[in-house]
Structure 1
Amino acid sequence: MASPEQLADVVRGPLRLLLSGPQSSGARATPEDAALPGRNRIHLVVDGFDEVVARLRDAGLDFRSDVVSGPGGRQVLVADPSGNLVELFEPA
């Protein structure tokens, strides 16, 4: 489990805010070639992370990163048809 310095998960009503500390995977810079047209991304929590990633790879989606593991979980970046980033995330 991530320590408070690594990740904070704040929930208020329907809003969920994830704050990444300097040692978390979320604090790593987005690779320059991954973020076209921008560096913002939507973050989707998925169940069955390995199966989802395998299914999307088999479907030919444009992955913009390798799977990254950190104290909060695992993530991978995929591009939508317009090049916007979608982060698939599985909590630890």
Structure 2
Amino acid sequence: MTTEDQLVSVRYVVDDVAAAVDFYTTHLGFALRFSAGDAFADVGRGPLRLLLSGPASSGARSTPDTHAAPGRNRIHLVLGDFDGQVEQLRGEGVRFVSDVVSGPGGRQILLADPAGNLVELFEPAPR
């Protein structure tokens, strides 16, 4: 069991909290930790705490324009059976936004949650 002080939290702003919870718990192995209806949910996977903030939440309020490049930030999930899990997710209709990319550190593919937030699925290169 991971304690609160061992968690790493990331906030994603989503259009539909229920759809986001369903996506992360059904397809990516997250567990629902807390829900505040259509405003907010807290899901977790190991030490990752993903805060899903809907339009009615304080976390979804506008932030200053930082001129950040869109689509570059994402959570990074390491998979044990990369090919098998990617194929399973394709079969479940998950929307991938890239092809598998291989590099010196391993292989990755990007998918988008229902609100368009990116998730990187990763398989480390053999060491």
- Alignment TM-score > 0.5, same fold: yes
- Alignment-derived partner of residue 73 in structure 2: 40
Shift of residue 38, structure 1, vs aligned partner? 3.4
State TM-score, norm by structure 2.
Answer: 0.43
| Structure 1, unaligned runs of 5 or more | 1-13, 16-36
In the alignment, residue 81 of structure 2 is paired with which amino acid? G
More helix as a share of residues:
2
| 2: CA distance, partners of 1:39 / 1:56 | 22
CA distance in 1, matches of 2:99, 2:71: 19
Highest relative contact order (Cα 8 Å, sep 6+), 1 or 2? Answer: 1
Q: Which residue identity is paired with 2:102?
A: S
Q: Structure 2: how far apart are the matches of 1:86 and 1:60?
A: 15
Q: Distance in 1 between matches of 2:122 and 2:84?
A: 13
Q: Displacement, 1:81? A: 1.0
Q: Structure 1-normalised TM-score?
A: 0.59
How many residues matched? Answer: 58
**Seq. identity, %:** 72
Q: After TM superposition, which residue ranges in structure 1, 4 or more long, deviate above 3 angstroms? A: none
Q: What are structure 2's unaligned runs of at least 5 residues?
A: 1-5, 8-69
